[in-house]
Amino acid sequence: MSTARPTRRPYLIIGLLLLAVAAVTAWDASTMRIRANYGVGADAASYLVAVFFCALAVGHFVAAFWGPGTTVEEIDLRAVGWVALALASLVAAISLGAGFILGTTLLFAFTARAFGRRAFLADVLIGAVLGLLVYLLFHGLLTLALPEGPLERLI
Protein backbone atom coordinates (compact mmCIF):
# COMPACT_ATOMS: atom_id res chain seq x y z
CA MET A 1 0.00 0.00 0.00
CA SER A 2 1.37 3.38 -0.94
CA THR A 3 1.17 6.28 1.45
CA ALA A 4 1.67 9.86 0.39
CA ARG A 5 4.15 12.26 1.90
CA PRO A 6 2.99 14.39 4.85
CA THR A 7 0.95 17.32 3.68
CA ARG A 8 -0.32 20.42 5.45
CA ARG A 9 -2.87 21.48 2.87
CA PRO A 10 -5.88 19.61 4.41
CA TYR A 11 -5.52 21.73 7.55
CA LEU A 12 -5.75 24.92 5.53
CA ILE A 13 -8.87 23.76 3.66
CA ILE A 14 -10.58 22.45 6.82
CA GLY A 15 -9.72 25.68 8.65
CA LEU A 16 -11.36 27.72 5.88
CA LEU A 17 -14.42 25.44 5.95
CA LEU A 18 -14.69 25.89 9.72
CA LEU A 19 -14.64 29.68 9.27
CA ALA A 20 -17.37 29.41 6.64
CA VAL A 21 -19.59 27.31 8.93
CA ALA A 22 -18.97 29.77 11.77
CA ALA A 23 -20.09 32.63 9.50
CA VAL A 24 -23.27 30.81 8.44
CA THR A 25 -24.08 29.95 12.07
CA ALA A 26 -23.55 33.52 13.27
CA TRP A 27 -25.64 34.88 10.39
CA ASP A 28 -28.43 32.43 11.22
CA ALA A 29 -28.31 33.51 14.87
CA SER A 30 -28.53 37.17 13.85
CA THR A 31 -31.85 36.50 12.11
CA MET A 32 -33.48 35.24 15.31
CA ARG A 33 -36.00 37.81 16.45
CA ILE A 34 -37.43 36.47 19.72
CA ARG A 35 -35.39 37.58 22.71
CA ALA A 36 -35.50 36.00 26.13
CA ASN A 37 -36.84 38.07 29.03
CA TYR A 38 -34.24 36.71 31.45
CA GLY A 39 -30.84 35.29 30.73
CA VAL A 40 -29.89 34.51 27.15
CA GLY A 41 -31.95 33.59 24.09
CA ALA A 42 -31.79 30.86 21.49
CA ASP A 43 -29.08 32.73 19.60
CA ALA A 44 -26.52 32.50 22.43
CA ALA A 45 -25.70 28.83 21.79
CA SER A 46 -25.28 29.57 18.08
CA TYR A 47 -22.84 32.37 18.81
CA LEU A 48 -20.94 30.18 21.28
CA VAL A 49 -20.59 27.42 18.68
CA ALA A 50 -19.55 29.98 16.06
CA VAL A 51 -16.82 31.27 18.39
CA PHE A 52 -15.73 27.66 19.05
CA PHE A 53 -15.51 27.09 15.29
CA CYS A 54 -13.39 30.21 14.87
CA ALA A 55 -11.00 29.04 17.60
CA LEU A 56 -10.72 25.64 15.92
CA ALA A 57 -10.08 27.36 12.59
CA VAL A 58 -7.19 29.26 14.18
CA GLY A 59 -5.88 25.93 15.50
CA HIS A 60 -6.05 24.47 12.00
CA PHE A 61 -4.24 27.46 10.50
CA VAL A 62 -1.48 27.04 13.07
CA ALA A 63 -1.23 23.36 12.09
CA ALA A 64 -1.30 24.35 8.40
CA PHE A 65 1.66 26.72 8.65
CA TRP A 66 3.79 25.40 11.49
CA GLY A 67 2.63 21.82 12.15
CA PRO A 68 4.29 18.58 11.06
CA GLY A 69 1.53 17.87 8.52
CA THR A 70 -0.51 14.73 8.14
CA THR A 71 -0.19 11.68 5.91
CA VAL A 72 -3.21 10.83 3.82
CA GLU A 73 -3.56 7.37 2.35
CA GLU A 74 -4.19 7.11 -1.36
CA ILE A 75 -7.66 5.92 -2.16
CA ASP A 76 -9.30 4.09 -5.03
CA LEU A 77 -11.80 6.59 -6.37
CA ARG A 78 -13.46 3.96 -8.56
CA ALA A 79 -14.54 1.98 -5.49
CA VAL A 80 -15.88 5.17 -3.90
CA GLY A 81 -17.76 5.81 -7.14
CA TRP A 82 -19.43 2.38 -7.01
CA VAL A 83 -20.58 2.92 -3.42
CA ALA A 84 -21.83 6.39 -4.40
CA LEU A 85 -23.76 4.84 -7.29
CA ALA A 86 -25.21 2.25 -4.90
CA LEU A 87 -26.42 4.96 -2.50
CA ALA A 88 -27.68 7.17 -5.32
CA SER A 89 -29.74 4.36 -6.79
CA LEU A 90 -31.34 3.75 -3.40
CA VAL A 91 -32.32 7.42 -3.10
CA ALA A 92 -33.56 7.44 -6.70
CA ALA A 93 -35.62 4.28 -6.20
CA ILE A 94 -37.31 5.67 -3.12
CA SER A 95 -37.87 9.22 -4.34
CA LEU A 96 -39.25 8.02 -7.70
CA GLY A 97 -41.62 5.59 -5.97
CA ALA A 98 -39.95 2.41 -7.23
CA GLY A 99 -40.07 0.96 -3.71
CA PHE A 100 -37.79 -0.32 -0.99
CA ILE A 101 -37.02 -3.76 -2.42
CA LEU A 102 -35.76 -2.48 -5.76
CA GLY A 103 -33.74 0.19 -3.97
CA THR A 104 -32.01 -2.23 -1.63
CA THR A 105 -31.40 -4.70 -4.48
CA LEU A 106 -29.40 -2.10 -6.38
CA LEU A 107 -27.76 -0.88 -3.17
CA PHE A 108 -26.54 -4.39 -2.35
CA ALA A 109 -25.37 -5.26 -5.86
CA PHE A 110 -23.45 -2.04 -6.50
CA THR A 111 -21.83 -2.15 -3.05
CA ALA A 112 -20.67 -5.71 -3.70
CA ARG A 113 -19.24 -4.45 -7.01
CA ALA A 114 -17.30 -1.77 -5.13
CA PHE A 115 -15.67 -4.52 -3.08
CA GLY A 116 -14.46 -6.27 -6.21
CA ARG A 117 -17.29 -8.75 -6.93
CA ARG A 118 -17.90 -9.40 -10.63
CA ALA A 119 -20.97 -11.67 -10.49
CA PHE A 120 -23.42 -8.82 -10.80
CA LEU A 121 -26.53 -10.86 -11.63
CA ALA A 122 -26.01 -13.22 -8.69
CA ASP A 123 -25.59 -10.23 -6.39
CA VAL A 124 -28.78 -8.65 -7.76
CA LEU A 125 -30.63 -11.84 -6.85
CA ILE A 126 -29.16 -11.97 -3.34
CA GLY A 127 -29.97 -8.30 -2.84
CA ALA A 128 -33.55 -8.85 -3.95
CA VAL A 129 -34.04 -11.77 -1.54
CA LEU A 130 -32.49 -9.74 1.29
CA GLY A 131 -34.70 -6.75 0.51
CA LEU A 132 -37.78 -8.98 0.38
CA LEU A 133 -36.96 -10.58 3.74
CA VAL A 134 -36.41 -7.18 5.39
CA TYR A 135 -39.65 -5.90 3.89
CA LEU A 136 -41.62 -8.88 5.16
CA LEU A 137 -40.05 -8.54 8.61
CA PHE A 138 -40.96 -4.88 8.90
CA HIS A 139 -44.32 -5.05 7.22
CA GLY A 140 -45.57 -8.25 8.78
CA LEU A 141 -43.91 -8.60 12.16
CA LEU A 142 -43.20 -5.03 13.21
CA THR A 143 -45.97 -3.24 11.25
CA LEU A 144 -43.62 -0.44 10.31
CA ALA A 145 -44.19 1.15 6.93
CA LEU A 146 -41.38 1.01 4.39
CA PRO A 147 -41.63 2.95 1.11
CA GLU A 148 -43.78 0.99 -1.34
CA GLY A 149 -43.47 0.61 -5.08
CA PRO A 150 -45.03 -1.68 -7.69
CA LEU A 151 -43.18 -4.72 -6.32
CA GLU A 152 -44.37 -4.19 -2.76
CA ARG A 153 -48.00 -3.76 -3.84
CA LEU A 154 -47.91 -7.23 -5.39
CA ILE A 155 -47.11 -8.84 -2.04
Partner 1 sequence: METLYLLAGGFESALTLSNLVFAAIGVFIGTAVGVLPGIGPALTVALLLPVTFKLDPGGSLIMFAGIYYGGMYGGSTTAILLNTPGEAASVVTALEGNKMARAGRGGPALATAAIGSFVAALVATIGLAYLSPVLVKVAVKFGPWDYFGLMLLAFVTVSATFGDSPLKGLTSLAFGLWLGLIGIDQLTGQARLTFGVPQLLDGVEVTTLAVGLFAIGETLSVASRHLYSPEQPIPVKGSLWMTREDWRRSFFPWVRGTLIGFPIGALPAGGAEVPTFLSYNIERKLSRRPEEFGHGAIEGVAGPEAANNASAAGTLVPLLTLGLPTSATAAVMLAGFQQYNIQPGPLLFAQHADLVWALVASLFIANVMLLVLNLPLVGLWVKLLKIPLPWLYGGILVFAAMGTVAANPSVVELVLLIAFGAMGFLMRQYGYPIAPAIVGLILGPAADSQLRRALQISQGDPMVLLQHPGSAIMIALAVIALVLPFVFRGLAKMGKDED
Provide the 3-class DSSP secondary structure of residue 70.
Answer: strand
Distance CA 94, CA 135 (A): 14
- Counting contacts by CB under 8 A, is residue 89 touching partner 1? no
Amino acid at 43: D
| 97 half-sphere exposure, CB direction, 13 A CA radius | 2
User: What's 73's DSSP letter?
Assistant: B
Please say which residue, 62 or 150, places its beta carbon nearer to partner 1: 62
3-state helix, strand, coil in the chain (%, to 5): 70, 5, 30
- Counting contacts by CB under 8 A, is residue 86 touching partner 1? yes
Please tell me the total number of residues recorded for the chain in this structure.
Answer: 155
Please say which residue, 78 or 154, places its beta carbon nearer to partner 1: 78
Please say which residue, 16 or 83, places its beta carbon nearer to partner 1: 83
- Counting contacts by CB under 8 A, is residue 52 touching partner 1? yes
**Contacting partner 1 (CB under 8 A), which of 20, 42, 136, 155?**
42
- Counting contacts by CB under 8 A, is residue 79 touching partner 1? yes
Distance CA 108, CA 85 (A): 11
**Contacting partner 1 (CB under 8 A), which of 12, 83, 85, 132?**
83
Number of residues that bind partner 1 (CB under 8 A): 70
**Contacting partner 1 (CB under 8 A), which of 8, 16, 59, 132?**
59
User: What's 4's DSSP letter?
Assistant: P
- Counting contacts by CB under 8 A, is residue 116 touching partner 1? yes
**Contacting partner 1 (CB under 8 A), which of 4, 20, 23, 36?**
36
Q: How far is the CB of 154 from partner 1 (least distance, A)?
A: 19
| 86 half-sphere exposure, CB direction, 13 A CA radius | 21
